């Protein structure tokens, strides 16, 4: 599995769980780096900055730079700048997301009536006031986008509710489905990732623990895909799901192990 030019790795459930690195992840990344492979770490999580992800990876011994990390916040910022430049935005999301949007020139709306775009993201402080504001803005004609569709996020003690809960609340009250998603499995994120890596889809492997985001995005973009069983998806989930990966791995350590066997042969 060492023949690809580019490798995209999900983080939560693929490289680490919580504050614990998954066995063999560091060795695998170092092996790929030794072969001058192009690497990108791609997360749907919006409650941490890319800088914090960088520090976390570096603390595990994975030495990469900020340009090796992509998240939905960056994709969302670029989308708003390109398609809603100068318009006012209401954000359901945590302070770290709002700060990044503000620092990149995104103007926030003070009322539903002046809102042009509603951005829905993971917010652990989500409450009725957020829902009412978004509901009124959307009913007044505001566009709505979501940073990512994940229903849950894997944690060491079990999954916790993610952005899917906020999306569900808004779709349930407005009766409008949110179709424009920035993060995985959106083609917007796939194209951004390939542009950063400067490789073609056929020369890239997408590895992650979720069929409905990581694997679906990779498949739709024309990449090879590797499902790892260290996070949200288990072996028994595969038979009931229409999304099929190119490879099924116990963990990303299998990339290193299989590559060594191939070289020895």
Exposure string over 168-177, b if 16+ CB within 10 A, otherwise e: ebbeeebeee
66-80, 222-236, 251-265: the lowest-pLDDT one: 251-265
Using omega within 30 degrees of 0 as the cis cutoff, is the peptide bond preceding 190 cis? no
User: Within its chain, how far is the Cα of 17 from the centroid?
Assistant: 15
| Integer Cα distance of 63 and 60 in angstroms | 8
pLDDT, residue 262, reads 60
Give the pTM: 0.85
**What number is the average pLDDT over the span 206-222?**
95
| Integer Cα distance of 156 and 114 in angstroms | 42
pLDDT digits over 153-200, tens only? 877 778 889 999 999 999 999 999 999 999 999 999 999 999 999 999
Angle at which helices 187-197 and 72-83 cross, to 10° = 100
pLDDT digits over 101-128, tens only? 999 999 999 999 999 999 999 999 999 9
Which structural domains are found in the chain, ordered by start? 6-44+184-264 (3.40.50.1000), 72-174 (3.40.50.1000)
Return the structure tokens found at 27: 């060795």
251 or 2: which leads in pLDDT: 251
pLDDT digits over 37-86, tens only? 999 999 998 988 999 999 999 999 999 999 999 999 999 999 999 999 99
| Integer Cα distance of 248 and 125 in angstroms | 36
């Amino acid at each position: 599995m060492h023949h690809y030019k580019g490798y995209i790795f999900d983080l939560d459930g693929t490289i680490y769980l919580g504050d614990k690195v998954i066995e063999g992840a560091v060795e695998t990344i170092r092996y790929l780096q030794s072969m001058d492979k192009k690497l990108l770490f791609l997360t749907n999580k919006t409650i941490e900055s890319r800088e914090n992800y960088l520090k976390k990876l570096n603390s595990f011994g994975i030495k990469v730079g900020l340009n090796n990390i992509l998240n939905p916040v960056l994709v969302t910022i670029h989308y708003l700048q390109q398609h809603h430049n100068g318009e006012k935005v209401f954000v359901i999301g945590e302070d770290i997301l709002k700060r990044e949007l503000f620092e990149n020139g995104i103007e926030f709306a003070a009322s539903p009536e002046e809102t042009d775009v509603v951005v829905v993201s993971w917010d652990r402080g989500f409450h009725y006031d957020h829902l009412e504001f978004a509901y009124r803005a959307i009913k007044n004609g505001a566009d709505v986008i979501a940073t990512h569709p994940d229903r849950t996020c894997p944690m060491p003690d079990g999954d916790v509710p993610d952005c899917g809960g906020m999306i569900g609340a808004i779709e349930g009250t407005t009766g409008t489905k949110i179709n424009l998603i920035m993060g995985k499995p959106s083609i917007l994120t796939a194209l951004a990732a390939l542009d950063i890596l400067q490789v073609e889809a056929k020369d890239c492997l997408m590895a992650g623990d979720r069929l409905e985001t990581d694997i679906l995005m990779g498949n739709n973009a024309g990449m090879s895909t590797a499902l790892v069983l260290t996070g949200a998806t288990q072996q028994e989930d595969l038979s009931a799901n229409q999304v099929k990966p190119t490879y099924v791995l116990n963990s990303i350590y299998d990339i290193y192990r299989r590559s060594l066997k191939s070289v020895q042969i």
